[in-house]
Structure 1
Amino acid sequence: MTDKIRIGISSCLLGHNVRFDGGHKLDRLIRDVLGAYLDFVSVCPEVEVGLPTPRETLRLVGEPDRPRLVFGKSGEDITERMQDWAHRRCDELEKENLCGFIFKSKSPSSGMERVKLYDKNGVPSKQGVGVFARVFMERFPLIPVEEDGRLHDDKLRENFIESLFTVKRWRDLVERGMSAGDLVDFHSRHKLLLLAHSPQIYREMGKLVAETGRQEMQTLQKEYVELLMKALRMKATVSKHINVLEHLLGYFKRELSADEKQEMLESFASYRAGHVPLIVPITLINHYVRKYDQPYLKTQYYLNPHPLELQLRNHV
């Protein structure tokens, strides 16, 4: 993959002075580290809907399923105005072919979850979803989304970036014109990655792939990508990674010496106990894949799901 992955992002996270106080919320991890691989389409709902900077603060009030967006002091309600703009903006974003979106946490317009929602007595609870974020996620349910704060959690960051690269590979295939053989190949190359998220969903996907040649390709693609995103939303755990690692070990039954096998098992045990990160057994396996020339494992994205330079598996 040579071109960057195109994603949407809240403008303030890139350092744009669009906040209610005239400032920004620059996130250097996102802009400077992840930005080496991501092409950002910035969005600021409050500025783009026509509000000035600086401005009076907004808040969500009412019920979780139908909140109102109002100014904190004046009480002016701009819910419909924001919703109308959000739908129009999503029409524009649909043409951008985004592979993901990073929202600003806690924002009444862009917060993905746990935004303060005030009841009729002015008491807040963290049950709200930003007005624009809600419209976006309903419009694009298959696009991976995250918030800036959650991306500083090692496991959530690794899962999100892995999802972005997987979606990009899928989109590239679809744009080129996916054949039945392409679908089978995609599923095969992502087998171990999917098993690390959900063995059950992987089996469901396998049944779909078995229908190639018997079902209309467009229908298969739609059903497959829905299951793909459902699987990627399931968090990979240590125990599921261990199952995949042990599965990988089975490919070296004839090649590994007793000492090499023991070394592999010790690295698995150290990872299970939390003494070393996932990158340690993965690096050892990649060494044996090259040493013993395992052609099938060379195709597995599980072993190289994203650029090594991001060091995402150094912390999970």
Structure 2
Amino acid sequence: MSSCLMGEPVRFNGGHSRDRFLSGELDAHVDWVRVCPEMEIGLGTPRETLRLERSTAGPRLVTRKTGADLTDRMTELATRRARALDVDGYVFKSRSPSCGVHGIPVYAGETAVERGGRGLFAAHVLDTHPLLPVEDEGRLNDALLRETFVERIFAHARLRALLESDWHARDLVAFHSRHKMQMLAHDPALYREAGRLVARAGVRPRLELAADYARVFGTAFARKASIGRNVNVLQHCMGMMGESLDPARRADLTEVIASYRAGRVALSVPTALLRHHALGEAAAYVRDQTYFAPYPPELRLRNHVPV
């Protein structure tokens, strides 16, 4: 993460941009790697502000007043850092010409001629790790984007733990089996593609299979789950529970799912009720799905009512 978001006084003005969610609720569940690229290239703090300037070779990172070109220093650092990066997600400082991910202005003279740029450091990280879960702290103020990002980093961590172990075909099958409903909520087509890959787990070369599965898995989770796909998963799980649900409980679940679809209750309501009813061996498959516990429950990220 950008270290200023944890309260380190590394901003251009000697201040910080501590984010309450990142430094508070999420901090208890992750190990942060703190990075301030501007400090790492030796700028110190306080310092002259920077901006991106247009050139035929791509945006240049320069100081606003003196026009010193820092592009080569930042590019060297970004290349080295990105190559060695081994994390499950990255939170960048928004609106930064070094770290911004979205909407960074690119100037020609005193005029901003583009407003869809990326910070020079962030761009190298994203180009090197295109499937890495990435956000900036500004967008994490949106409840859905926050939930999606956190869900992605924990899914990424579980897959990384599996693939870094001495895993066998049966382990990948078991991993995929637990993640089926979660993947289905994000991308049904990629869910089916992942299933086809896993079906050949005992046949294909191990490293080749791992690379292909990681690509499909990461791409699927990069797509936001929708209300409609969540409803599909909830109904699918209810159907799989079969006779373990009596008519009264089935009617109760149906009504709650309909309320979620209509935007009257948060997703946490039907998921909690379904998991509560998933009792006994007949419902073990449903109960063990990561869809119902995609991240630590203390984060309470499914408590927002969909719009």
The number of residue pairs the alignment matches comes to 305
Offset at residue 52 of structure 1 (A): 2.0
- Aligned ranges 1:154-233 → 2 under 5 Å: 154-233=143-222
Matched, 1:56 2:48: yes
Structure 1, residues 81-111: CA drift from partner, whole Å, max 9, x if none? 11012112234x43xx311110001100001
- 1:67 corresponds to: 59
Offset at residue 66 of structure 1 (A): 1.5
| Higher mean displacement: 240-249 or 116-125 | 116-125
- AA aligned to 2:137 is D
Decide whether the 8 Å contact of 1:33 with 1:310 is kept in 2. yes
Offset at residue 112 of structure 1 (A): 1.1
- 2:22 corresponds to: 30
- 2:298 corresponds to: 309
Structure 1, residues 28-47: CA drift from partner, whole Å, max 9, x if none? 11101100101111000101
Structure 1, residues 9-67: CA drift from partner, whole Å, max 9, x if none? 00100001111111110001110110010111100010110002111110011169821
RMSD: 1.6
Closer/same/farther in 2, CA of residues 261 and 43 from structure 1, 3 Å limit: same
- Aligned ranges 1:88-127 → 2 under 5 Å: 88-91=80-83, 93-94=84-85, 97-120=86-109, 122-127=111-116
Decide whether the 8 Å contact of 1:64 with 1:127 is kept in 2. no
- AA aligned to 1:261 is R
- Match among 31, 35, 50 for residue 39 of structure 1: 31
Decide whether the 8 Å contact of 2:97 with 2:104 is kept in 1. yes
| Higher mean displacement: 77-86 or 100-109 | 77-86
Decide whether the 8 Å contact of 2:51 with 2:61 is kept in 1. yes
SS in structure 1 opposite 2:111? coil
> What is the alpha-carbon distance in structure 2 between the residues aligned to residue 205 and residue 188 of structure 1?
10
SS in structure 2 opposite 1:69? strand
- 2:69 corresponds to: 77
- 2:271 corresponds to: 282
Structure 1, residues 179-227: CA drift from partner, whole Å, max 9, x if none? 1111111111100000000000111111111122221010000011001
Identity of aligned residues (%): 44
- Match among 101, 115, 135 for residue 124 of structure 2: 135
Closer/same/farther in 2, CA of residues 182 and 79 from structure 1, 3 Å limit: same
Decide whether the 8 Å contact of 2:244 with 2:283 is kept in 1. no
Decide whether the 8 Å contact of 1:14 with 1:25 is kept in 2. yes
- AA aligned to 1:15 is G
> What is the alpha-carbon distance in structure 2 between the residues aligned to residue 215 and residue 77 of structure 1?
49
Offset at residue 120 of structure 1 (A): 4.4
Decide whether the 8 Å contact of 2:197 with 2:213 is kept in 1. yes
Decide whether the 8 Å contact of 1:255 with 1:292 is kept in 2. no
| Higher mean displacement: 286-295 or 154-163 | 286-295
- AA aligned to 2:191 is Y
Offset at residue 304 of structure 1 (A): 1.1
> What is the alpha-carbon distance in structure 2 between the residues aligned to residue 26 and residue 64 of structure 1?
36
- 1:269 corresponds to: 258
Decide whether the 8 Å contact of 2:100 with 2:119 is kept in 1. yes
4+ aligned runs moved over 3 Å, structure 1: none
Offset at residue 245 of structure 1 (A): 0.6
TM-score (norm 2): 0.95
- Match among 238, 248, 258 for residue 227 of structure 2: 238
> What is the alpha-carbon distance in structure 2 between the residues aligned to residue 10 and residue 73 of structure 1?
24
SS in structure 2 opposite 1:219? helix
> What is the alpha-carbon distance in structure 2 between the residues aligned to residue 290 and residue 311 of structure 1?
23
Q: What runs of 5+ residues in structure 2 fail to find an aligned partner?
A: none
TM-score (norm 1): 0.93
- 2:7 corresponds to: 15
Structure 1, residues 153-172: CA drift from partner, whole Å, max 9, x if none? 11111111111111111111
| Higher mean displacement: 194-203 or 112-121 | 112-121
> What is the alpha-carbon distance in structure 1 between the residues aligned to residue 163 and residue 55 of structure 2?
40
